[in-house]
């Protein structure tokens, strides 16, 4: 679910690795994210974190089927996973002593956006598509997600994204404050370069 690689410079690359689901965050991935952040938080050899996605996408948001709609998991497993999600997304990301950087390509939707909100820099490939699509499925975007994104994104941009459910491109995300830099080539390479220089 995650691909973890550490560079000699002390940068931990956390790759979301569920390409068949466009890296949507399911039960196993959310538990793995909590675990790796807890371990990284107390690891003094890690100086920076770079999030990225494998398989051409960053994150298609939360896997609602795995958590809610048609999940066949035991209730206690789902309860643990939901608690882990709230823990790493609301608390851990903000408590990390390391700077966080994020490389975005492909889709970056919904539940993946709080990672961008806490990042010192977000590097997005020009063709990336970002958004809050929940309203298209009859849901209001999660309160904690909107709250996190609202700390870096312009109020009108956030309102448009949340109320329309329409995706927006990397350049628009940069104008709205969600993305730092738009690049033509591999955003991970650019994010790593910035992390190494920080």
The mean pLDDT value for 147-155 works out to: 95
The domain made up of 2-197 has a fold known as: 2-enoyl-CoA Hydratase; Chain A, domain 1 (3.90.226)
Tokens of 24: 């949507």
Torsion angle defined by CA atoms of residues 7, 13, 18 and 20, in that order, rounded to the nearest 10 degrees: -70
If one compares 134 and 124, the residue with the highest pLDDT of the two is: 124
Per-residue model confidence (pLDDT) at position 70: 63
Give the CA angle between residues 52, 104, 134 to the nearest 5°. Answer: 105
Residue whose C-alpha is closest to residue 182's, from 109, 139, 144, 130 = 130
Residue 10 pLDDT > 80, yes or no?
A: yes
Residue 35 pLDDT > 90, yes or no?
A: yes
The mean pLDDT value for 188-194 works out to: 98
Q: pLDDT tens, 69-100?
A: 666 888 899 899 999 999 999 999 999 999 99
Residue whose C-alpha is closest to residue 144's, from 82, 189, 57, 195 = 82
Tokens of 5: 């690689």
């Amino acid at each position: 679910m995650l691909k973890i690689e550490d560079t000699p410079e002390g940068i931990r690359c956390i790759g979301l690795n569920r390409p068949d689901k466009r890296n949507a965050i399911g039960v196993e991935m959310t538990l793995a994210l909590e675990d790796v952040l807890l371990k990284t938080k107390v690891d003094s050899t890690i100086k920076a974190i770079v999030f990225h996605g494998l398989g051409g996408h960053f994150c298609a948001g939360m896997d609602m089927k795995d958590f809610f709609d048609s999940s066949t998991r035991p209730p206690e497993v789902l309860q643990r996973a939901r608690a882990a999600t709230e823990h790493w997304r609301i608390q851990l990301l903000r408590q990390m002593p390391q700077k966080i950087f994020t490389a975005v390509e492909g889709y970056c939707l919904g539940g993946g956006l709080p990672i961008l909100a806490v990042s010192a820099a977000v590097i997005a490939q020009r063709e990336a598509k970002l958004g809050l699509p929940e309203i298209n499925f009859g849901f209001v975007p999660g309160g904690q997600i909107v709250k996190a994104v609202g700390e870096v994104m312009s109020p009108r941009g956030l309102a448009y994204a949340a109320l329309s459910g329409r995706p927006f491109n990397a350049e628009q995300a940069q104008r709205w404050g969600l993305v730092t830099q738009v690049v033509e080539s591999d955003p991970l390479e650019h994010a790593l370069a910035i992390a190494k220089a920080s």
